[in-house]
Amino acid sequence: MAFATLLLASVTGWLAWTTRRLARATAEEVVGQIRPVVVPIGDTAHAQEADEDRWPEYFDVKIGLRNIGAGPALNFNMTIGEGSRSEPLVALGAGSDDRALVHVPVVANEGPMTYHSRTAKMVVEYFDLGGRRYVTEIWFGILNRVGDTKLQRSIKLGSGVVPREGPISGPALLENPLMAAKEAPGIRKLPSAWRYYVLQDPDALPGPLLPRLKEAWSWMYPRHRRTRTQRLMWARRAYKSTLDKPVRPWARGVLHRPYVTARGLRWSYRVYRNLRY
């Protein structure tokens, strides 16, 4: 009986594992059918001098982009080398196209080889409705800052990944209902406290040693009211900010709500523990 029970449990586990693989494969197939695919239009990109009033020491690169996928492409971010910035691009629906504009910085006394390697690739980052991240890499060689540039035949398309869950950020967390939080100095400020409060500056009026030690201690470990309340409010705000974040593929369905709750509690605990007033 024990052997039969163990065999039944093994078969049940194998069936669950197989069902999970089939469900994951089906989900990936559905995502592949409705994913956005952004590719360049034509075979040239146009470079020109940027507006000196708005973008000094930059030149512009314009390139046409088209979404040939079945789903919309959202939240664009385009770069050509380090320090470049792109103009906002509206969402591209299936079959729609638009012109992308990227501001590329000008580096003084730059050699031709360094210039070519720095400006040889344009990275187009975009997302779908499910929060998956896609990347299209377009290769070309910009010979100078004015004129048309031929695109290379080959481009690289990303398969789409769910972004890793990073620390909670964004403008919502900057709206602290009490006041700005910062990390407590603690023992790391001991050298500065000893220098400025105990030893004092040569031009400062000498004072009693005991008050100076108290000032140094208060500066290293400040005590303020409502510290715990402030940290609780930040933790609550962090928890609410995680509720609409993308979830892992395996956490959908029945596990969606427990996963979202556990993730929010984890980040709220980290915020409460690490932030100081």
What Cα–Cα distance (Å) separates residue 264 from each residue in 41, 93, 141, 235?
42, 32, 46, 9
Chain centre to alpha carbon of residue 256 = 23
Task: Look at residue 38 in the predicted model and tell me its pLDDT.
Answer: 92
What Cα–Cα distance (Å) separates residue 187 from each residue in 9, 49, 190, 274?
56, 52, 5, 16
Chain centre to alpha carbon of residue 163 = 8
Tell me which residue has tokens 């034509």: 42
Average pLDDT of the chain is: 78
Res 91 pLDDT > 90 = no
Backbone angles phi, psi at 170, to 5 degrees: 120, 170
Task: Look at residue 178 in the predicted model and tell me its pLDDT.
Answer: 41
Neighbours of 163 (CB within 10 A): 11
Res 277 pLDDT > 50 = no
Q: 101, 60 in Cβ contact below 8 A? A: yes
Helix or strand holding residue 29 (H, E): helix 2-34
Q: 15, 23 in Cβ contact below 8 A? A: no
DSSP at 204? S
Angle at 243 between CA 240 and CA 248, to 5 degrees: 150
Q: What SS3 class is residue 200?
A: coil
Distance CA 230, CA 233 (A): 5
Q: What is the mean pLDDT of residues 174-188?
A: 49
Distance CA 152, CA 137 (A): 11
What Cα–Cα distance (Å) separates residue 249 from each residue in 25, 49, 101, 126, 264?
11, 45, 34, 19, 17
Helix or strand holding residue 59 (H, E): strand 58-67
Task: Look at residue 164 in the predicted model and tell me its pLDDT.
Answer: 52
Q: How confident is the model at residue 85 (pLDDT cuts 50, 70, 90)?
A: confident
Q: What is the mean pLDDT of residues 60-88?
A: 89
Q: What is the mean pLDDT of residues 96-123?
A: 85
Q: What is the mean pLDDT of residues 41-69?
A: 87
Q: How confident is the model at residue 121 (pLDDT cuts 50, 70, 90)?
A: confident
Task: Look at residue 133 in the predicted model and tell me its pLDDT.
Answer: 84
Res 112 pLDDT > 60 = yes
Res 165 pLDDT > 50 = no
Distance CA 157, CA 185 (A): 46
Res 68 pLDDT > 80 = yes
Task: Look at residue 40 in the predicted model and tell me its pLDDT.
Answer: 92
Quick one: 276 exposed, middle or buried, by C-beta within 10 A (0-12, 13-18, 19+)?
A: middle
Q: 235, 268 in Cβ contact below 8 A? A: yes
pLDDT for 207-223, tens place per residue? 788 888 888 887 777 65
What's the CATH architecture for 39-157?
Sandwich (2.60)
- Answer with the residue of higher pLDDT: 95 or 277: 95
Res 275 pLDDT > 50 = yes
Distance CA 98, CA 118 (A): 25
Hey, where are the domains in the chain?
Answer: 39-157, 165-184+223-277, 185-221
- Answer with the residue of higher pLDDT: 245 or 105: 105
